[in-house]
Amino acid sequence: MSKESLQNRILALSALSVGFSLISSAFSFYYVKVFLNHYHIEESWFQLSQTLFMIWNAINDPLFAYCQDSTNFRCSRTRRESVLYAAPFFALSFLVPWFPWGDPETLQPWVTGIHLITALCFWDTMFTYVGLGYCCLFTEMTSDNNERLKLIRYTQLGSLLGSSSVFILQNLSDQLENFQMFQTTCILVAVISCLFMMYCGKHAHTERELQQESDAKSGKPQIVKFQEYSYFTLSKQILFNRDFLAFVIMNFFQEFHRTFVSNFFAIFGDQLIEKGSIPSIVRSTFYGASTTGAKLTVIFGASIVSRYGYFKVLRYGQIILVISGLVYYIIGPVNQWCLMLFMLLDSCLVDCISALFNLALSDVADNDVIRYNRRHPVTSMVYGMNALVVKPAQSLSPMFVVKILNVYGYDHLKDGTLNATEVQDLSSVMFNLLCLYPCVIGCIQFCSWSFYRIREKQSFDMTVYVGAGTDTV
């Protein structure tokens, strides 16, 4: 395949990264804060919605994955078409949380609860479908690790541009004080995101798809997807792979930590950094930097990954997380500028580590094809089974944190009924959570990652499965 062709496809995947990040960064950053502070959702409904969200998370990923790997519907025939047809619905799902079903002050608690359940399930349905296409495009666009690192740099650049949505929303809405402006800006963000994703859906061809198009022009039989194993057999083959297990255990706790950072960064920042102690523009920049710092680090640090390999880089990242959390816990909240620096370091490290995970999972998917001599790749299933294990962390993490915060009176903080001592206790538990999360999770990840055996990229020829051995019509 020509270099120019690959460059065009990388550009298309980067466009998907922009569109995906525009709405996913804003969604994860704001939905907890909006429902807790603006809609005043009751804790019982919040916990129920997260529980149902967790169940749906566990069900839909492997099912959609099997569908994308095994069916030939127009919306799942190729990876790019999965993105193309789902993009408008994904953008629409982003808008659902920001428009309450009535006046939040007079709504019945169950209405707000059903609103959150609907928003989370609709969002995750489209997030999963488009996200699987995104991940599979990354894996199947090229099998060369150097080119995959190049893909990471370009997609992180796209993600960096997309994550600016948080900074824009923070400033235009005056940190949610002007909620109507927030809603209007969200509509604009959704439209722009949809256009970027649809561009990817038009142009992001994989090597397999290009080979099929070439075969069609030369008069060869059309190749269609066919899965020789049942859903349960295929799931067992993937789940009982030692490398896959080592990765998903680490990834589960990574997502637990990442969700904590993205959902509660603004909430903890508002409580621990006193209003008026820093200029408003600095606070907005601080919140915006929480989603951009990691992207810049990955873009400029990709050469380090190329030199030392992602296994060692992830290992060192885990060690730094543990040490930084432990050191700052011992030192204590010295001043607010140091606190801001620590929060940014934690957020940056978490996102940097997550950005490299597609390299590891792509290697797992590549080796799965060789191990079982597959007639065509089951990349979606590998990512889907990963999500089956990992996605529950997205619900468990906020449930865990909200429960702890409410024990210390966070649900009454919004009413202004806490006294000074109770407010101080709440601030202390927030600080402890900030420090202990990276310490505990980093230790667990260090142990799990030790069982991962794919330390060096093995040679893998994409022609092993491009058009090989599949049924024809």
Task: Decide: 462 and 207 in contact? Cβ < 8 Å.
Answer: yes
What pLDDT score was predicted for residue 69?
73
What pLDDT score was predicted for residue 440?
94
Q: Is residue 218 part of a domain?
A: no
What pLDDT score was predicted for residue 204?
80
What pLDDT score was predicted for residue 237?
87
Q: Which two tokens mark 198? A: 């649809």
Q: Is residue 143 part of a domain?
A: yes
Tell me what the mean pLDDT of segment 392-417 comes to.
84
| Mean residue pLDDT across the chain | 83
Q: Which two tokens mark 209? A: 């798809």
What pLDDT score was predicted for residue 141?
82
Q: Is residue 192 part of a domain?
A: yes
Tell me what the mean pLDDT of segment 145-152 comes to.
83
Q: Is residue 174 part of a domain?
A: yes
**Among all chains, which residue has been given the structure tokens 């999500």?**
387
Using the predicted structure, report yes or no on whether residue 331 has a pLDDT greater than 80.
yes
Task: Decide: 97 and 119 in contact? Cβ < 8 Å.
Answer: yes
For residue 387, give its domain range: 9-202+231-454
Using the predicted structure, report yes or no on whether residue 75 has a pLDDT greater than 60.
yes
Q: Is residue 294 part of a domain?
A: yes
The one-letter amino acid at 326? L
What are the tens digits of pLDDT across the range 21-74? 999 989 988 888 899 888 888 888 988 998 898 888 778 888 888 777 776 677
Residue 174 pLDDT grade (very low, low, confident, very high; cuts 50, 70, 90): confident
CATH of the domain at 361: 1.20.1250.20
Q: Is residue 225 part of a domain?
A: no
What pLDDT score was predicted for residue 372?
79
Residue 305 pLDDT grade (very low, low, confident, very high; cuts 50, 70, 90): confident
**Among all chains, which residue has been given the structure tokens 């994703």?**
197
What pLDDT score was predicted for residue 455?
67
Task: Decide: 288 and 166 in contact? Cβ < 8 Å.
Answer: yes
What pLDDT score was predicted for residue 170?
85
Q: Which of 42-51, 131-140, 224-233 has the lowest mean pLDDT?
A: 224-233
pLDDT more than 90, % of the chain: 30
What are the tens digits of pLDDT across the range 236-279? 888 888 999 999 999 999 999 999 988 888 888 888 887 777 88
Q: Is residue 189 part of a domain?
A: yes
Give the chain's domain count: 1
Q: Is residue 155 part of a domain?
A: yes
What is the value of pTM for the model shown? 0.73
